[in-house]
């Protein structure tokens, strides 16, 4: 039985005051979240602050991105070892906003995945199709291609050390959630594809769903057999909304 994981992606949001308030709100309700594993992914600059605030709690810390490089002349980059210095456990890689707005392709994403893993961060690898791709009937092809880039570089066993997040691009920040069955179908496809390469990896890996998850729809999504939690954008910015999703994992 895989543990439910709920990870909040705060994106480019927050201020010193709002971040303190948000963390304090989450910590105030965390005792009611049972066995659900929880992580928050603040903007880089707030990671040291959030890292301190989370000490002693069950809430883990993640980054929204990570450099494919470890150190050197790479202006503006943040490396995996730097994130480890602040007790990060997770690093999101290949979020659709990085892919679409910053032209990060499958190979580059795979290198970020490798960089995260090599310093002991758990990559949260995002995959998912656009509306156009769904309507063209190529959802599975797109998701398979995104996964294959990582498997080719790192091998199938590496997927067992990671978390996957299926995030249909058309459902991110749009209020249009995939139905539980639509999400389950793609999750089952992903798990089946992995099982064809390594059954143990397929059984072990947590596959999160992301795309307009809210307190009101989380329980039915998380009840699907291949959905192991959620990657949450908008609803992770309010402690009560985020906690309601965490509680839906019980
Ligand atoms: C996300 O950005 O990963 C996401 C799922 O966003 P939202 O929950 O706002 O759709």
Chain mean pLDDT for the chain: 97
pLDDT band of residue 90 (cuts 50, 70, 90) is: very high
Nearest CA to ligand 1 atom 1: 233
50-74: pLDDT as tens digits: 999 999 999 999 999 999 999 999 9
In the chain, pLDDT over 90 holds for what percent of residues? Answer: 96
More confident residue, 219 or 176: 219
5-51: pLDDT as tens digits: 999 999 999 999 999 999 999 999 999 999 999 999 999 999 999 99
SS3 call for 63: strand
pLDDT the model gives residue 176: 87
pTM strictly above 0.75: yes
- How many Å lie between the centroid of ligand 1 and the Cα of residue 10? 9
- How many Å lie between the centroid of ligand 1 and the Cα of residue 173? 5
CA angle 233, 239, 240 (to 5 degrees): 105
Of all atoms in ligand 1, which is nearest to the CA of residue 95? 3
Q: What are phi and psi of 124, to 5 degrees?
A: -105, 100
- How many Å lie between the centroid of ligand 1 and the Cα of residue 211? 5
pLDDT the model gives residue 77: 98
Picking from 123, 238, 119, 129, the residue whose alpha carbon sits closest to that of residue 182 is 129
* Mean pLDDT calculated for residue range 162-171: 97
Which range is least confidently modeled, 9-18, 80-89, 172-181? 172-181
109-118: pLDDT as tens digits: 999 999 999 9
Nearest CA to ligand 1 atom 3: 233
Testing ligand 1's pocket by substitution, the residue of 208, 213, 244 carrying the most ligand atoms inside 8 A of its CB is 213
- How many Å lie between the centroid of ligand 1 and the Cα of residue 129? 14
Testing ligand 1's pocket by substitution, the residue of 92, 234, 244 carrying the most ligand atoms inside 8 A of its CB is 234
Of all atoms in ligand 1, which is nearest to the CA of residue 235? 8
Of all atoms in ligand 1, which is nearest to the CA of residue 97? 2
* Mean pLDDT calculated for residue range 118-145: 97
Picking from 122, 203, 194, 195, the residue whose alpha carbon sits closest to that of residue 163 is 122
* Mean pLDDT calculated for residue range 238-249: 97
Say whether pLDDT at 1 is over 90.
no
* Catalytic positions, written as ranges: 95, 167
189-207: pLDDT as tens digits: 999 999 999 999 999 999 9
In the chain, pLDDT over 70 holds for what percent of residues? Answer: 100
Nearest CA to ligand 1 atom 8: 233
**Is beta strand 163-166 parallel, antiparallel or unpaired with respect to 206-210?**
parallel
Domains and CATH numbers, the chain: 5-247 (3.20.20.70)
């Amino acid at each position: 039985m895989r543990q439910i994981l709920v990870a909040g992606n705060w994106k480019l949001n927050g201020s010193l005051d709002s971040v303190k308030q948000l963390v304090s709100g989450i910590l105030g309700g965390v005792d009611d979240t049972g066995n659900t594993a929880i992580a928050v992914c603040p903007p880089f600059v707030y990671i040291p602050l959030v890292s301190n605030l989370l000490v002693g709690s069950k809430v883990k810390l993640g980054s929204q991105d990570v450099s494919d490089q470890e150190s050197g002349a790479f202006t503006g980059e943040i490396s995996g070892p730097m994130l480890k210095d602040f007790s990060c456990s997770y690093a999101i890689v290949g979020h659709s906003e990085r892919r679409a707005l910053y032209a990060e392709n499958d190979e580059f994403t795979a290198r970020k995945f490798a960089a995260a893993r090599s310093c002991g961060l758990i990559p949260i690898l995002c995959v998912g199709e656009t509306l156009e791709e769904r309507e063209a009937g190529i959802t599975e092809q797109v998701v398979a291609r995104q996964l294959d880039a990582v498997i080719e570089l790192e091998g199938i066993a590496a997927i067992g050390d990671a978390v996957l997040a299926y995030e249909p691009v058309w459902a991110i920040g749009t209020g249009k959630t995939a139905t539980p069955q639509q999400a389950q179908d793609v999750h089952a496809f992903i798990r089946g594809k992995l099982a064809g390469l390594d059954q143990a990896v397929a059984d072990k890996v947590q596959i999160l769903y992301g795309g307009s998850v809210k307190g009101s729809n989380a329980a039915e999504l998380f009840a699907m057999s291949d959905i192991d939690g959620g990657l949450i954008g908008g609803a992770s910015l309010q402690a009560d909304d985020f906690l309601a999703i965490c509680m839906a994992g019980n």
